[in-house]
Structure 1
């Protein structure tokens, strides 16, 4: 019997399992790709291990360079000491003996340099340390040339070698970080850290003998700095020794314990421990030579310890590389086996899966497009299991979607965000969402904190000047709508400077915080207390029923502020002068109300302090006069009524002209107006910024014109131009652009411009420090004017972005011996921090001579030059030789009267 041809044709169709096999082949390819990626990853790990090994080898090579370079220091310093004519007297030996020692030192220097050059040559080209080795080689070549030429003193010689050592040590750390960044195991990371710890100890130990020699041969002028460097180096050395106890490798710790217990380490530590006992200072040439050799032996012993640590790390790195290679081989075998098993499983699955895969595939496609559909559970058990799992995944995705929508809405308190998601992936996603929520909340908190910092005084937590203006403006707007009165009390503390001067700035801060607390406790709940800066506060009162209420409040504030304040070291008292201004129906703006209250406070101070004054018609006329003066100043700026005079600044030591200070002059209707009459008026408004801009442009233009006409003698420094910048302008956001614009318009090099600012501005407004840093980045120099009259302590100088201190004339001209000693102290402190010093108001020869003895850099005053017009000042640049400083007056000569 023959089969139906139609049936035979249908049977010859392709079987379903072929389609299923083809369907499964897609994930099979994915498995192959994944296996390939895993193999590639393992191969990358092998490469990383090899690179880590190369980086560790670079650490060893660079450490050899560092150790060799540091071995040059002692013989080089010894040779410099021997060549110093004063060394024979200091050591108590004959020049013949020193000559013999010089031969030994010279041979040692030559050998040490050869070792260093060999270590540099051992760094392979193209390695991590090749670039730094090249730079170090060039630096050492220049340094050796200057040393051989006798151009460097002990201190600069030592700093030069220390710069090389620090650069190599920085490169070592970078190479160690490169090794660690390759993902080496924790034990190798700890071993690399051990190498850095031991290398740091070796470096600090190598510095002890040079620092010891520096303190031994320090002069009176450098003794304090040498002693401080020795003691600081000793602290670094002892800290490095302490960290050796944290070494991770037991064998390395044992090696260190043997070194630490050695007689050589004990002897050198006993010798190099900072002490004021003259017994510890070696001044015998034979003993000195022995100490130098013993120090070299000690450094060599520590170098061997570094080599031991490096060998250990290299062994671990080689083991890491071999382990990574083993993992690669194992992974490759596993991947091949996995692919084979996957192919077999795909064939079997294609033979057994039912037609329900079509439906499941369609649903999976919809889900992959982001359509979270309901998954139907149909077909064989295996397919049902997959469908159920896919349905659970869809449920998890829906929960993720709901949580994401809650975050997008900003509903960070939704309880849904706290519900965890199933499985490891769910935990990761849920952790991510919680991190996002936390980040958003932190950003909100940070924004709130930044807004608070921008509007509040950091010391008292009161609203600052900017916020005070905003609050007063809002109060006046409310008063304009309601027809009520608004009161403003300007509180200016009396005697606060005496607290700062007598008890220190910490006591002053305590007083300011206590005054702020008392003001808050004495006003009504709706009233606002603000701190304008320094010792000035304001109290905003709204609404006000009668002016008498404001005066009563002012007297209560004066009484409360006048109570004693407990500060470290005792009890102090300050008073207060208060000015009261009233805004009626919101008719005035905030600036006017501030000006009226401030004017009333000034009158209270003038009438005896500790009292309250209300702004009246007399003060209104004074304000009108001030407004008239402001208008006249503005007209003078536009109409050419302002001019500059230039007071020379002279080097104290050599008498050479150093530069000029630009001083503003104004003649109103042909009558000179003293600067102390119109400058405060300008500073009370934004007009001072226009004045500063005019002075900047005119002063830089004038110096540029002088430079174009006169060329300084070869080797002589070019004169600078100092320009005063007001505190208000310094806190203005346009100040950097103003200075840059003046320099660009005149073509004056930035380094010839000096900006003078008062120290009070630096203390009162942090924005000023930010702007000063930006101005220094332009290349201009910064000077603190009238130093000593504000709140700045000497210790703050290290953190301030300044280059020069100008000592106030009150200290220079004072006959008080204590004030004179204070001037000497300020000069020494400024030089310690690398600052120049200019003394102001020098009027007597004795003052100049005293400044010369104290090491002051520059001076200005009527004894040297009065302020000169531009033509006369420019003439000082033309003579071939600088004008000589006045000679000190012989004892007994009558003192000349000071000019003004």
Structure 2
């Protein structure tokens, strides 16, 4: 009885102690003892199983809590049943803050909607998707969520277990690569790829809404000169400054992009009238009025703009951009620093220019380039006191081509450098040859282009031309334009000083048509000022032009500079200039440019003469 009471009390070690025997009592005691042993064994097995379960749960919790990935479990409604510390920490929350809340509360509205569709509507299916969570501090957390269904034995879904991997850095790297693929690395502006995509979308929208789209193709004037002279670092700084000004002058919704080099392009996706485009183009030109300051130096830079309008000038991206490029070159031909709307005639002109450029590349080798000389006449005495060498192209098929037709092409293509060197060398040899033939020496004026002027070996080129020809530097005068002088005042001053030291005289050509500044006239070692034909053309009839010419002459004389008027065509113009004490002139009223063999008629015959410099 004692054993049964102990067993009833839970002591599974209780035994009757009866020995086995034939009696019924002995058999009953044996059955009791076997039952007690069985219960004891089963209890031990149960305890071992429970311990194993506890050990398993501990191991599972350890794995979950120390996992490098976030883990959460949601019920069929999306509410968070479990979240590990890593998941909470990734989002900047505590476990308690997340537990019980819908997992979609930790995403923005757009991503929450997408994730809800993926995780809830497709429950019971293993799936993986990129999910962007919203951190507690407002930042984004990009993840890969691998979701596995939790199901009953009957297949009923109890929820979802999700493993979350942080891929934010990878996403940032991918986004950066996408950004680089669509933006210019130097300026941060959209590149050609992104611009074309936006233009394509604008054309689709414009076709549907029957609206006008405008494309403005821009190229900086003479940028290559700055780049070649001062180096690409200065050029890069200038391009970034230009991009900043362009962004400031376009409307919200417009796009300004850099195509490469010094080419920029603007998309105006919604235009009411062509006049609106013209105003925006002028606004772009106006932002270049102020100089760019780089490392304490000032640079004057202008741009030429070509404009196309959809649907009038093209129906697709390539056509609009190509025709805008054609119009831009037309703007350059018209003097730069301007804009031109595309016309169909420009395409034919573009093909003609390309043909001319190809022909020009071999013109020197084929001896097709020649120099003509125009006399410079002293207004007081009426005698020829100098001459200007002017380039002509004797084309085998087109005849004599004037410089205004092919010089812009030569400048854009870079051919002006070898052509300019040839012109300088040839003119010096011709001037010296006339001297050796006994003619009275005349001062020879030769034009220098901006590209020539900013070549690093300019002084050597000039020195070589003088040495090879034997011409004394005192008889050579180099003509420069105002815009050239203002591009980089510091470098210009240094170059002019070097040339002045060589004994060469320096002249500013077409004064009044560029960035007129009294400051540089005083600062630079200039000897001669040539009044632009645009002022001379209407004197003395136009009182405004007459007043301007008179003021230029008086100012130049105050600065001890000689004054020459260009393109004088009438006697009234010559009389007016003489009355204003202009020093000299050149123009058809006295004589046109002539080839060397004909120009000799103007050369003063040998006579006793004073030394002239």
- TM-score (norm. length: structure 1): 0.35
Q: Which structure's CA Rg is the greater one?
A: 2
Higher helix share: 1
Higher strand share: 2
- TM-score (norm. length: structure 2): 0.49
